Amino acid sequence: MISSIGNFLKNLFLQGTTDEIAEANRPIVRGYLGLAFLYYAIMVPVHFFALSGFHQFKMVFISLTATMVMAGGLWLARKPIRAHKLELIAGTANLAVLANVIFAVHTDYVISNLIYFPMMALAFAFTSVTIRMAITSITVVLGVLYFELRTDFLGQGEVYGYIGFATAICGLAFMSFLQRAIYVAIKAKEAAEAKLDKAESKLIEAERLNIAMSERAMTDSLTGLPNRRAFFAYLKTRTPKASGKCPDWLIALDLDGFKMVNDVYGHIVGDELLISVTQRLQKQGGEIAHISRMGGDEFNIILTGMPDEAACEAWCETLLQAIAAPYDVEGRLIQLSASLGSTKLTEGLASTSIIRNADYALLHAKKNGKNRAVIFTNEHEKIATQRFEIEDALRSADFPSEIEILFQPQVNLSQDQVVRAEALARWECPELGRIEPDQFIKIAEESGLISKITLAVLGKAIEALKSWDNPIPLAINLSGHDLLSNQVMDEIIEVLEASDLDPSLLEFEVTETAMMADTEKACINLKRLSALGYSVALDDFGTGYSNFNYLRELPIDKLKVDRSFVEDIGNPMTEKILHSLAVTASALGVDCLLEGVEDELQLIMAKRVGAHSVQGYLFGKPMESDQLTDVIDKQNNKPNEASNPEPNLRGIK
């Protein structure tokens, strides 16, 4: 009981108030301070002129102090302050007022002056910030009043009358405080709610801004489609459905020849075209396709509602037709096609594999003539898996120890002698076994690992040349990656210089396609080799796009005519074509070698068209080092056979 009363009192007197209630009280306290300030500011001269002597000094001093207290309070409470500070300001003002009243009563004890006490009680109660201050102020006022009631001046009846009157007034004062406190509490609640509303609306605004920003980060600015990032986020939400249910499909779309449109008509037309393509995609896609722009002329579509491959294929065909209809861009009629690669979102397949499969199918669509759709099949799956296995194995391969080279002879037709051999890479993968060069070279090129192979082959070739008693020149294949990387070329040249080899012992073979990405750079790097004395052969000649002017620019010493020409010996045009290729070589002042000579007929034709040399199974398949040295030794031991019109170099197998 006692402790609960204690708690009640503790709560009542010690607990402060909230800042919101203080803020609602502030205008009232300031009003009180303002009025009091005016009153005491007037009272200072009034006391000064009306009184004299010690009374004058005392009253002027106390009213001046009160004026200053009020002014200080007004200044401190000019902006929102913490609740306890406002309470302190109001309390100090009350003390100043009380001190003035006590001084006034003592200066001139007139019974009517006692009216100040109930008035003070009213004023203090009304301006109290907290209940503890209201009670304290009223109690102090009443206490002082009872102390000041002097029975020697007043009759007993008057004293009790005053006590009754003052107590009633104080009760009234307290009531007024309570009422006002309720009013202030309501105001404070409203203010707090308004503050909360404001904070909430700020929060909503911030959230809206956040959404707008992330939408922007997820949107392609040109087409308004979801961008690459948005696509990946969306794909994650499309969990592949269990088999038997209507699956989702991922379609990778790439426009055919869009780069050319950009180059020919400029980027503005290119952009317009992309927007038009987007509109067609959206029109056909409707509700069942989620279309994203992955960048450039690449789009990804997630298609729903296609039960099987046939349905997906039919949908893709319609899309291809829609895209192929002519576009009217700024008065120009432009024709465009697209290639599509699609794959089913299969259960248990990671999104990276899904994308990889669609891209793989797209690659096939491109390779098979473009303007078509290819669906990723089980067959593709097998090939792709194997390809990825090889790629992984290539990444971890130790090429200097795993790569071997074989040598395929090149025969000079006028001397009828093996004059050179092409070094061809062989890779025995520790995990996957022997892999065909056509396969691993292509994958190494696509995954940027080819230069390591080039350096390994170069190392082995130099090793072989140094180990042979009578070395014959070798030809090394360079890939586009090697030619277009200054760093790789530096490395190659460093190895060559360190080997201290006679440059006439090495030739470098490059294909036209290898140089296509940046002919200028490739040409500069080839010239570096040429300047050091190494000869250069243009490999697989006739399969690329070279024109005469471009060939003249290249520092080449030999054209290696692609095997496909010789293979086609049954075609009456073959000889004419080969002849014109040999004429081209002679016009350029370079040698002409025919690749893929497998039989006597092809050899006779090679001679007839004017080729300088040949390479092919007729003279030997790629062979081991000692086999080649045997051939060379035999050849060297029969010096007279060079003049023999029918030398027997055939049958080196």
Active site positions, annotated: 297
The C-alpha atoms of residue 385 and residue 395 are separated, in whole angstroms, by 15
- Which runs of consecutive H residues, i.e. helices, occur in 218-266? 228-237, 258-265
**In the complex, least distance from residue 432 CB atom to Ca ion, rounded to whole angstroms:** 24
* Partner interacting with residue 479 (select from ligand C2E, Ca ion, none; CB below 5-8 Å by kind): ligand C2E
Distance between first and last Cα of the chain: 116
Which CB, 309 or 567, lies closer to ligand C2E? 567
**In the complex, least distance from residue 615 CB atom to Ca ion, rounded to whole angstroms:** 8
**In the complex, least distance from residue 615 CB atom to ligand C2E, rounded to whole angstroms:** 6
**Considering only CA atoms, which of 546, 539, 554 is closest in space to residue 479?**
539
**In the complex, least distance from residue 539 CB atom to ligand C2E, rounded to whole angstroms:** 5
Out of 227, 339, 477, 546, the only residue in the binding site for ligand C2E (CB under 6 A) is: 477
Structure tokens that stand for 29 in this block: 């306290």
Choose the stretch contacting ligand C2E; rule: CB under 6 A; options: 34-42, 102-110, 372-380, 591-599.
591-599
Which CB, 450 or 578, lies closer to ligand C2E? 450
Buried b (16+ CB within 10 A) or exposed e, 249-283: bbbbbbbbbbeebbeebeeebbebbbebbbebbee
* Partner interacting with residue 596 (select from ligand C2E, Ca ion, none; CB below 5-8 Å by kind): ligand C2E
Helix (H) or strand (E) holding 12: helix 2-14
Which CB, 416 or 539, lies closer to Ca ion? 539
Choose the stretch contacting ligand C2E; rule: CB under 6 A; options: 36-44, 257-265, 545-553, 593-601.
593-601
**In the complex, least distance from residue 624 CB atom to ligand C2E, rounded to whole angstroms:** 13
* Partner interacting with residue 457 (select from Ca ion, ligand C2E, none; CB below 5-8 Å by kind): ligand C2E
**Is the dihedral angle over the CA atoms 200, 202, 205, 210 positive or is it negative?**
negative
The C-alpha atoms of residue 405 and residue 427 are separated, in whole angstroms, by 9
Residues that bind Ca ion (CB under 5 A): 477, 509, 539-540
The C-alpha atoms of residue 83 and residue 77 are separated, in whole angstroms, by 11
Out of 232, 265, 388, 617, the only residue in the binding site for ligand C2E (CB under 6 A) is: 617
Footprint on residues 448-467 left by ligand C2E (CB under 6 A): 450, 453-454, 457
Helix axes 116-127, 156-217, angle to 10 degrees: 20
Locate the DSSP E strands across 298-416: 298-303, 327-329, 332-334, 337-344, 373-375, 403-412
Which CB, 389 or 598, lies closer to ligand C2E? 598
Which CB, 477 or 574, lies closer to Ca ion? 477
**Any idea what DSSP says for residue 640?**
G
Amino acid at 193: E
CA distances from 429 to 99, 228, 306, 396, 397 (A): 104, 36, 42, 10, 8
Out of 114, 362, 622, 631, the only residue in the binding site for ligand C2E (CB under 6 A) is: 622
The C-alpha atoms of residue 225 and residue 218 are separated, in whole angstroms, by 9
**In the complex, least distance from residue 627 CB atom to ligand C2E, rounded to whole angstroms:** 14
Q: Are 534 and 506 in contact (CB under 8 A)?
A: yes
Q: Are 487 and 518 in contact (CB under 8 A)?
A: no
Footprint on residues 539-568 left by ligand C2E (CB under 6 A): 539-540, 563
Choose the stretch contacting ligand C2E; rule: CB under 6 A; options: 1-9, 58-66, 548-556, 616-624.
616-624
Contacts of 58 (CB under 8 A, 6+ apart): 103, 107
Structure tokens that stand for 316 in this block: 């893709």
Structure tokens that stand for 9 in this block: 């009192």
If binding is defined by CB under 6 A, does position 227 make contact with ligand C2E? no
Q: Are 373 and 317 in contact (CB under 8 A)?
A: yes
**Any idea what DSSP says for residue 1?**
-
Out of 114, 306, 616, 623, the only residue in the binding site for ligand C2E (CB under 6 A) is: 616
* Partner interacting with residue 250 (select from Ca ion, ligand C2E, none; CB below 5-8 Å by kind): none
Over the window 486 to 525, marking each residue x when it contacts ligand C2E by CB under 6 A and - when it does not, the resulting string is ----------------------------------------
Contacts of 463 (CB under 8 A, 6+ apart): none
Choose the stretch contacting ligand C2E; rule: CB under 6 A; options: 161-169, 379-387, 521-529, 609-617.
609-617
Which CB, 91 or 542, lies closer to ligand C2E? 542
If binding is defined by CB under 6 A, does position 611 make contact with ligand C2E? no
SS (H, E, C) 89-131: HHHHHHHHHHHHHHHHHHHCCCHHHHHHHHHHHHHHHHHCCCH
Which CB, 138 or 538, lies closer to ligand C2E? 538
Out of 424, 435, 492, 603, the only residue in the binding site for ligand C2E (CB under 6 A) is: 424
Footprint on residues 42-81 left by ligand C2E (CB under 6 A): none
Choose the stretch contacting ligand C2E; rule: CB under 6 A; options: 60-68, 336-344, 435-443, 642-650.
435-443
* Partner interacting with residue 598 (select from Ca ion, ligand C2E, none; CB below 5-8 Å by kind): ligand C2E
**Considering only CA atoms, which of 373, 387, 428, 371 is closest in space to residue 404?**
428
For 82, list phi and psi in degrees, rounded to 5: -65, 155
Number of residues that bind ligand C2E (CB under 6 A): 22
Which CB, 438 or 520, lies closer to ligand C2E? 438
The C-alpha atoms of residue 421 and residue 243 are separated, in whole angstroms, by 56
If binding is defined by CB under 6 A, does position 408 make contact with ligand C2E? yes
**In the complex, least distance from residue 568 CB atom to ligand C2E, rounded to whole angstroms:** 13
Out of 16, 459, 473, 596, the only residue in the binding site for ligand C2E (CB under 6 A) is: 596
**Any idea what DSSP says for residue 296?**
T
* Partner interacting with residue 408 (select from Ca ion, ligand C2E, none; CB below 5-8 Å by kind): ligand C2E
Out of 355, 425, 578, 588, the only residue in the binding site for ligand C2E (CB under 6 A) is: 425
Structure tokens that stand for 645 in this block: 């019109």
Which CB, 477 or 629, lies closer to Ca ion? 477
Choose the stretch contacting ligand C2E; rule: CB under 6 A; options: 42-50, 277-285, 361-369, 595-603.
595-603
Residue ranges that bind ligand C2E, judged by CB under 6 A: 408, 424-425, 437-438, 441, 450, 453-454, 457, 477, 479, 539-540, 563, 596-598, 615-617, 622
